[in-house]
Structure formats: C-alpha cells, structure tokens
Amino acid sequence: MVQASDAGDDPSAGTLPSEFALIARYFAPLARRFPGAYGLRDDVAVIAPSPGAELVVKSDAVICGVHVLPDDPPDLVARKALRMNLSDLAAKGAAPRAYLLDLMLPRATTEEWIASFARGLAQDQAEFGVDLIGGDTDATPGPLTVAIMALGEVPAGRVLRRGGACAGDALFVTGTIGDAALGLAALRGAASGLDPASVAWLADRYRLPQPRVALGPRLIGVATAALDVSDGLVADLGHLCEASNLDAIVDGGRIPLSPAARAAIANDPARLTIALTGGDDYEIVFAAPPAACGTIAALAEATRTPVTEIGRLAAPQPGAPPAVTVRDSSGAPYAFSSTGWTHFGRGRG
Ligand code: ADP
Ligand code: MG
C-alpha cells in the first residue's frame, strides 16, 4: 500500500535510511531461521500450526509515554513489547512460535536507537525461542509506538480460558505482585524511604517483565481458568471471577511480595494499594482444584517458577455480581481506592 507518510516517501524524513534498508539491515536477520518469513522479502509470512495444534494469537502495543518512559533504553523497550505478548500466550497455555512487529517511528529516531532495539529483540528471541516473521515500518508524527502480534500454539481445544473455574478451586499466582507498579512510581519520584538498590530492582521489574512461558503450557489439564496479570492483581482476578461467575476470597497476607516491595510498603502502607492494583506485573493468576496442589508444586519446581496459593473461589452471593475480596490477617476486607489500570474513563478503574 502507498502511504503518504511512509518514511521512505517523505522528503522531510530525518536521517534514517529508507524503511527497506532498515528492514534488510535490522529486521531480516531476526527472521532468517523461519522459512515461512521468506527473509522479509515478500509481502506476507506463512505459518502452519503443528499437527493437532491450534494457533493462539495476541497483539499488544507499547506507546512511549504510556507503557514506557521516553528515556527507557531501546533494547528494553523492544523486550518489554515482546514479553507483554508472550505473557498473554503463557497465561493461555500457549507455547510461543513467532511474532510480527509494527514499528511507528518518530522522525527524530536515530539509527543507533533502532540497532539497539533490534539487539534487544535478538536477545529475547534466543531466550524464548521465537522468530520475527513480518510487520510494518512507518514514520509517525506521534509518539514512538511498537505494536507486536505474537503467535503461539496449544493442543487443539485446550486453550486456557478465564471462565471455567469451579467454586472451591484454589487460586494461585506466579512470581511476586506489585514490583512493576512500585518501580514505576519510584522512577516517577515516589521513592521516599527506599534504598537505591531496591529502586533499581523494582524499576527493572517494570522495564523487563518475566513472562511465565515455561509454566504456562504445563498448566493445561491442571488449571481450570487462567489469565495474565497486566492491569493489577485485583482487577485481573475480577475478570476471572466475572467469566467464571464466582467470588474470589484472597488472603492478603499470602500475596507474594518481593523484599523490595515489602520494604516499600513498610515505609508507606498506602503503597499496598499501588502494589495490588497497579499494572505491569505480567504474572499468571490461575485456579485449580485443591487436589492439584501437589502437581502445581512439582510444575513450579520443574519450571523454576515461583507459584503461591493466595485464596479460594466461592459461589457468588445471591443477587450480587462476582466480587474479589482481599482479607487482612484479622479477616477484615481491604478497601481499595481503585482496582486497576484502565486507559479510558477515570483513568483508574
Ligand atoms: P507494505 O508496503 O505492504 O507495507 P513493507 O514494504 O512495509 O510492505 O514490508 C516488506 C516486508 O517487510 C514484509 O514482509 C513485511 O512483513 C516486512 N516488514 C516490514 N516492517 C517490518 C518490521 N518492522 N519488522 C518485521 N518485518 C517487517
Ligand atoms: Mg509498509
């Protein structure tokens, strides 16, 4: 398609080479292992699911100023954009295979920025076993935008859904919760009482999520419902409850917090709300029958993924919508001023 604003067509473009040169130089090398990508020298890529498998697809965009900060290192921007998508696949039980990359570049972008961005992708391709198979490259008058679409595979008919959990199922979450939200707050200056090492650690959790790709596919046949925690634990658990038509009762004291998050909250208890309702965790929350606890512990160990049981699902109160209750050590429910990140409306849901 002819685009008046394609960098290569616009005489006012900056110092970047044409998008064709950029693709050949920086992106084609990331596609060379995948035969159906045709070296990014055709219009499309071709991908066949493995026998007995279905493709699972997801796209997620990273917008500078919304999901990443303007001075975030380009390799980390790339890796975060890819990992956000891999996290969704993992939460659905899908093993990652390939991804497409739509890159909207402000004219001031430098070639060094793109080189570093591509190096970040190469690093994560090696770590997660995925290949770039296509995309689009454009100049934009707006902020830098990186849209990635990831493709994964599950055995046909076995994708993990948000619905399907049963009353009495136990609730589990991977990793630790709230680090990224506390890290972002610290990067924005709300770091009072935190030592520099904790700030750096929390900021790293914000910039470089750890998608649970090893555990996710192993949850098929074990978890009754699952989703990735990207908009805050309380809000995302609410989505599972809504889809499964169940209440969640979470034991607040069991929610896994990192030492840095604990220190931050000890310093200012209001930070607990940020931790439990902030976004960008990219962990998996899932339900499973209590009898599966042993299996889950074994999977956690085999995949080196921390997994913590945090509560139970129960039939909802008659006439009331499904709800998430987080209880403190005395059994009293926490009251949150917000339940999660939303882009529209009031900003915080
Ligand atoms: P079109 O003109 O149809 O938009 P392009 O010339 O932009 O096609 O793309 C040529 C080839 O390069 C296609 O195979 C496309 O998938 C691939 N491609 C373009 N941009 C990227 C990118 N940022 N990352 C990966 N592949 C890309
Ligand atoms: Mg194009």
Kindly state the percentage of the chain with pLDDT values over 90.
Answer: 86
pLDDT of 1 above 50: no
Q: How does pLDDT run across 31-77, given as a tens digit for each residue?
A: 999 999 999 999 999 999 999 999 999 999 999 998 888 889 999 99
Q: For ligand 1, pick from 6, 23, 103 the residue to mutate: most ligand atoms within 8 Å of CB.
A: 23
3-class SS string, the chain = CCCCCCHHHCCCCCCCCCHHHHHHHHHHHHHCCCHHHHHHCCCCCCCCCCCCEEEEEEEEEEEECCCECCCCCHHHHHHHHHHHHHHHHHHCCCEEEEEEEEEEEECCCCHHHHHHHHHHHHHHHHHHCCEEEEEEEEEECCCCEEEEEEEEEEECCCCCCCCCCCCCCEEEEECCCCHHHHHHHHHCCCCCCCCHHHHHHHHHHHHCCCCCCCCHHHHCCCCCEEEEECCCHHHHHHHHHHHHCCEEEEEHHHCCCCHHHHHHHHHCCCHHHHHHHCCCCCEEEEEECHHHHHHHHHHHHHCCCCEEEEEEEECCCCCCCCCEEEECCCCCECCCCCCCECCCCCCEC
Ligand 1, atom nearest to 40 Cα: 14
* pLDDT for residue 341: 65
Q: How far is the CA of 67 from the centre of ligand 1 (A)?
A: 24
Q: Which letter, b or e, does each residue of 10-40 get, where b requires 16 or more Cβ atoms within 10 Å of its Cβ?
A: eeebeebbebeebbeebbbebbeebeebbeb
More confident site: 117 or 328? 117
CA of 71 to the centre of ligand 2 (A): 27
Find the radius of gyration of the CA atoms of the chain: 21
CA-nearest residue for atom 12, ligand 1, is: 40
- Please tell me the predicted confidence (pLDDT) of residue 23: 97
- Record the pTM: 0.92
The environment of the single-atom ion ligand 2, i.e. residues with CB closer than 5 A, is 136
74-120 pLDDT per residue, tens: 999 999 999 999 999 999 999 999 999 999 999 999 999 999 999 99
* Probe residue for ligand 1, chosen from 2, 20, 40, 117 as the CB with the greatest number of ligand atoms within 8 Å: 40
CA of 135 to the centre of ligand 1 (A): 5
Condensed to tens digits (0 to 9), the pLDDT of residues 189-227 reads 888 899 999 999 999 999 999 999 999 999 999 999 999
Report CA(129)–ligand 2 centroid distance (Å): 26
Q: Ligand 1: list residues with CB < 6 Å.
A: 1, 23, 27, 40, 42-43, 101, 103, 132, 134-137
pLDDT for 8: 46
Query: In this predicted structure, what is the pLDDT of residue 9?
Result: 46
Report pLDDT for 349.
Answer: 37
pLDDT, residue 2, reads 45
User: Is residue 14 very low, low, confident or very high in pLDDT (cuts 50, 70, 90)?
Assistant: low
| pLDDT of 5 above 60 | no
pLDDT band at 7 (very low <50, low <70, confident <90, very high): very low
